[in-house]
Structure 1
Amino acid sequence: MLQNIPLYDICSLSDINQDDILISRFAPYLDTHKNLFTTHRHSFYHLVLFTAGGGTHSIDFENFEVKPGQIYFMIPGQVHSWAFEGFTDGYIINFSASFIQSFLLQHGYLESFSFFSGNLADAVINLPDQTYKAIKPLFEAILAEAATPALSAGDMVRLLMLQIFILVNRVGVASVLNGNASYNQTLIKSFKNLIEHHYTDVRLPKDYAAMLYITPNHLNAVCKDIMGISAGELIRNRILLEAKRMLINQKLSISEISLKLNFSDNSYFTKFFKKLENITPEEFRKKLINDHGK
């Protein structure tokens, strides 16, 4: 029975005393950490570039098909599992926020990349051939630096990682066609950042609109144009995601989860969850336990 979803830090996954970064080819990493196939969470940033393999991987309860040339990014706290088919390989880098931030003066630099926002639509990217061919040697260079550290090896790894981030980010930026779209994308990003910080205590779109110095109608129109859903749905979806993450933890009762998410009572929380997910929180938890036991 699933008692509590594991939360891994870098130290628990490394053979050496290293709590800032772990770099590896993917196949040997999988052989060493077979426990990571089942649902788990990370306390660190995590990225994988697939060079071979098939099957699926799941991030925050959404499944993605594994493809060579696909890169995905995860932020601390997200829920994750793998279901590979056949031999799977690539590159993996696990790193702490401080590993990169210690190298930069700009606070929050990682969050400037859309794939580190926690939005799954931006976090799993099937790379164009040109980008894939450009970043694969960078991963090889990172592995080489890790295998035989030279003077300022850590800084070289940071530089190579930043090159990867910038090149991958250009794939997304290239899809922005005009200045208005760029402004709306920035607005959505700011809205999502506000939701991330306030979803337990601020529930109404009009309150977020006030924080953004725009009208509620403007906010809703931009959300529908860019995301295809209303501002209210974005807020509710974030609350639902956190509820799902908490429901994995068997040590938390439904009432405790309801309280942590700032619902007035357990009944209201259950109605909220069932309206969005079509099952009750208890049923969702039982399904997770059954799936985990397969």
Structure 2
Amino acid sequence: MNTTPTDNLTYQQKYNQTDVWVDTFPDAFEKIKVTPIRSNFYFLILVLRNTNNLKIDGLDYDLSKYDLLILTPFNSNNMEFPEDLSGICIGFNEQFYTVSKVHHQFFFDTLKASNSPVYSSNYFLDSENDFVKQMFVQLLDKYNSEMDALLKWRMIRTLISVTFLYMQKRVPGEAAIHKKFENPKSKKLVSDFIQLLNKHFIKENKIGFYVEQLGISSAELYRKCKEVLHMSPKELIQDKVLSEAKRMLKNEEETVQEIAYNLGFSEDTNFIKFFQKQMKMTPGDYRKHFF
């Protein structure tokens, strides 16, 4: 019988708070603050009370009761939470959730369903919002329980998956996710490209490496990325590097030169030019302005 990593109890037991945690606000504030700066950590939040003045990368959001909020490596570089935020938060890294190709594709579908980090509760019936609330309560309960580790992690993943399904339904004015990605082969190819990019982007920033790994031409990868994500492969690579750079700039102990080297730039001047072209400010100015 074939097995997967989730069938191995030893593999399951290695998870700890650096991989997944569930908590309520305001305690969740502290966990978000101390979460290591990394390229694959996500926060899934259910809002339990109307609140204003959530700031993400310079944009303001007003939140309503039962809104869902997802913070990803691409939108969580500069967050300011309102002090009165009430809700339940689950923090998890990509490795915890994407234990199979099915999980990865479902995760990918959800993240690309909307350009906004906020999924409004206005598109649901009261009974459906109550159901989502119960799922988050279950997440909190299962995380704090003393149940078998293998069963606990499986249940948490299942509840996250159901939440993702509801998030896909909460996208206004867009076709259903499966219609948005009409060509499943295109979606699979782009998903494989994103996986490779997440793994190799620091050392490999040339499109040639990825098309060789995927066994396709540069022109085909370009067409598929534009079809699925409306972005070119080059833009996706640059976005990944830029997102990691902004995250690393949070750590004031690292110099700009060290960050440039860690991101694979041969000279810090090349990194500064790249960052300034994308952000209209130098890395040093960005650090001073936001941190």
- The one of 119, 124, 137 equivalent to 1:125 is 119
Q: Structure 1: where are the runs of 5+ without partners?
A: 1-17, 290-294
Q: Partners in 2 of 1:235 and 1:107 — Cα distance?
A: 24
2:113 corresponds to 1:114: no
Q: Structure 2: where are the runs of 5+ without partners?
A: 1-15, 170-175
Asked if the contact 1:184–1:226 (Cα under 8 Å) also holds between the matched residues in 2, the reply is: yes
Asked if the contact 1:51–1:90 (Cα under 8 Å) also holds between the matched residues in 2, the reply is: yes
Q: For 1:93, what is the secondary structure of its paired residue? A: strand
The letter of the residue matching 1:84 is P
- The one of 47, 50, 69 equivalent to 1:72 is 69
Q: For 1:114, what is the secondary structure of its paired residue? A: helix
The letter of the residue matching 1:221 is R
2:86 corresponds to 1:93: no
Q: Partners in 1 of 2:94 and 2:55 — Cα distance?
A: 23
Cα distance, 1:138–1:157 mapped onto 2, change above 3 Å: farther
Q: Partners in 1 of 2:231 and 2:73 — Cα distance?
A: 26
Asked if the contact 2:66–2:133 (Cα under 8 Å) also holds between the matched residues in 1, the reply is: no
Once the two structures are TM-superposed, the CA of residue 279 in structure 1 deviates from its matched residue by 0.9
Counterparts in 2 of 1:1-294, with a 5 A limit? 19=17, 22-24=21-23, 26=24, 29-30=25-26, 32=27, 41=36, 46-57=43-54, 61=57, 63=59, 65=61, 66-73=63-70, 79=77, 81-84=79-82, 87-94=84-91, 111-114=104-107, 121=115, 124-126=118-120, 128-129=123-124, 131-143=128-140, 149=145, 152=147, 158=153, 160-171=155-166, 172=168, 174-177=176-179, 180-289=182-291
Asked if the contact 2:139–2:159 (Cα under 8 Å) also holds between the matched residues in 1, the reply is: no
- The corresponding residue for 1:9 is none
TM-score, with structure 1 as normaliser: 0.69
Cα distance, 1:216–1:64 mapped onto 2, change above 3 Å: farther
Q: For 2:89, what is the secondary structure of its paired residue? A: strand
Deviations 1:15-42 (A, max 9, x none): xxx8476544x3xx31x46657879657
Structure with bigger strand share is 1
Asked if the contact 2:181–2:187 (Cα under 8 Å) also holds between the matched residues in 1, the reply is: no
C-alpha RMSD of the superposition: 3.9
Once the two structures are TM-superposed, the CA of residue 162 in structure 1 deviates from its matched residue by 3.5
Query: Aligned residue pairs: how many?
Result: 260
- The corresponding residue for 2:13 is none
Once the two structures are TM-superposed, the CA of residue 196 in structure 1 deviates from its matched residue by 0.8
Q: Partners in 2 of 1:110 and 1:42 — Cα distance?
A: 24
Q: Partners in 2 of 1:230 and 1:76 — Cα distance?
A: 19
Asked if the contact 2:47–2:65 (Cα under 8 Å) also holds between the matched residues in 1, the reply is: yes
Cα distance, 1:157–1:284 mapped onto 2, change above 3 Å: same
The letter of the residue matching 1:198 is H
% identical aligned pairs:
21
